[in-house]
Structure 1
């Protein structure tokens, strides 16, 4: 699809997935308007030919101003924290932000919308790869972030049923360049590449190049069915294999010590308590992350492949790109 001459709004373009979506749109000729928070890190939008509209996701009026004249919109932004001193804050932010953005886009008359959800809204399948037919309830989701995405996705589905022209995409676990924060998975890549993960809790992830996720967003706005959700994933990989691949790229010895989850729960509780006491906001080990590790988070993109023409490259290419970028940023020695 060619976006030449089309004004397109993107939220979350200063973030990891949002910046990839914005760059994919720019390559297709879109005239970009990027909704950004005042004082946000603009590293990921440097060099992009775009209008930067300052606003807040929870402020419907600021989103409406940014959306004026936009034919399409991609709502990628979210409060992406796995942990917070007040977990309910994550749920409140993602629900209120999604509601305000969708109402503003409807009021602005945007023709077509893609909402970025997450595979966090789907129940894992311990016997295989989960897909769009396994929606979770908020009560079934582990942790505040996953609950918040379930709540927000159900809200979007209800608005789609009322006529909002929105398609939902569910990225799995993206890796690759421009992970400035970094994401929890990006932190694993950095720590492992620097030789600081001699042991691990075994689990499973579906890893995908962030630029393939971005291409999936563009396919969704072109071919996706209103109100439908589409998993945008890559390859199912155990954490042990991922760490071994990182070690191979870095010329290091792969970690082989597997730690039982149970013995780490006291450390996770202590780590969270320390963060509350010190004001830190990004514990590396949390209770919810250990609970999540009990399930292999494997997912199928068959629906997106069949309906959208979505494809993902081998995950090792994404891993290599991520390591190259982190090294260039000085995060990997």
Structure 2
């Protein structure tokens, strides 16, 4: 299959590229820059120049493909709502190309927005009426596109997709701890994050591409709920700094814009995903990955 991949040079996308090519697929990666193009060539993929904010380029890339995996996202949290709306437009554009065909379109969301405070399952569908999380735009776009006869499925990723080279939420916590001189958690620190290893996530995307039926949702979750305090304690131990509790009010000053993420309680199950796709995470846990030390190499 000729697969068009957005975010193909990112932390998760680059692993998906290798997973797809290892299974015999031809990969065309979206590249915004010369450095991204060079990375794709080095990986053995074909380069397609374009940009997430250039919808015409995405449309043309999709038209020349047998399937699309969309993992690209503009990681500018200072304008999070705006970039989430951009993702809505991207999904709608890609879907318009595949309407009426059997070509698969896999898009990305997150488990954290599904049902905070209780176990999220794949069959729960968040809406703008049920959550204020801006990323719900991606879920709403997915439903809109699927209703047009597109073979679309959603992969919801954990707050932590971990492996060497991670530049996501856990590295942000480590950087804040270094800057502040303490590793902090909010309240009792019993709020839960889920996690999945990057290679397990990449395998999930391929299985979804090859096997998913329209409208299905999958959870990239290997660990249903890790207490945030356990993550903070691991960080404190590795940096040799105190581990402290912060009140919700103190957390805003300590974590800044990231405070809302640190108090998220978002356990999630992947039981249905594992049953439907025969996907079984096999790589190390987040805390085991932290013990390897690479997260703390400066």
Q: Does residue 97 in structure 1 map to residue 90 in structure 2?
A: yes
Q: TM-score, normalised by structure 1?
A: 0.76
Equivalent-residue separation in structure 2 for 1:72 and 1:12 (angstroms): 15
Could you list the runs of 5+ residues in structure 1 that have no partner in the other structure? 1-5, 269-283
Q: Secondary structure at 1:305's aligned position in 2?
A: helix
Equivalent-residue separation in structure 2 for 1:162 and 1:16 (angstroms): 31
Out of 126, 139, 142, the position equivalent to 1:136 is 126
**CA RMSD, Structure 1 to Structure 2 (Å):** 2.9
Structure 2 partner of 1:301: 270
Tell me by how many angstroms 1:305 deviates: 1.0
Equivalent-residue separation in structure 1 for 2:8 and 2:277 (angstroms): 23
Q: Secondary structure at 2:43's aligned position in 1?
A: coil
Contact 1:208 1:318 in 2 (8 A): no
Structure 2 partner of 1:279: none
Equivalent-residue separation in structure 1 for 2:23 and 2:95 (angstroms): 24
| Matched residues, number | 291
Structure 1 partner of 2:65: 70
Identify the range of structure 1 (51-60 vs 167-176) with the bigger mean alpha-carbon deviation. Answer: 51-60
Q: TM-score, normalised by structure 2?
A: 0.84
**1:47-62 aligned within 5 A:** 47-62=42-57
Tell me by how many angstroms 1:304 deviates: 0.5
For residues 231-290 of structure 1, give each alpha carbon's deviation from its aligned partner in whole angstroms, at most 9, with x where no partner exists: 111212112212333455x4x54743111112233x37xxxxxxxxxxxxxxx521xx43
Q: Secondary structure at 2:89's aligned position in 1?
A: helix
Structure 1 partner of 2:259: 290
Structure 2 partner of 1:271: none
Out of 209, 214, 218, the position equivalent to 1:221 is 209
Out of 109, 115, 123, the position equivalent to 2:115 is 123
Q: Does residue 257 in structure 1 map to residue 270 in structure 2?
A: no
Tell me by how many angstroms 1:178 deviates: 3.1
Structure 1 partner of 2:234: 245
Structure 2 partner of 1:183: 168
For residues 116-175 of structure 1, give each alpha carbon's deviation from its aligned partner in whole angstroms, at most 9, with x where no partner exists: 222144121x2x422124332225434xxx41x212221211221221011111111211
Structure 2 partner of 1:11: 6
Tell me by how many angstroms 1:196 deviates: 4.3
Q: Secondary structure at 1:47's aligned position in 2?
A: helix
Out of 73, 78, 82, the position equivalent to 1:83 is 78
Q: Does residue 154 in structure 1 map to residue 154 in structure 2?
A: no
Equivalent-residue separation in structure 1 for 2:222 and 2:145 (angstroms): 29
Change (3 A) 1:44 1:200: farther
Tell me by how many angstroms 1:49 deviates: 0.6
For residues 308-330 of structure 1, give each alpha carbon's deviation from its aligned partner in whole angstroms, at most 9, with x where no partner exists: 11222341344356x42x56xxx
Q: Secondary structure at 1:56's aligned position in 2?
A: coil
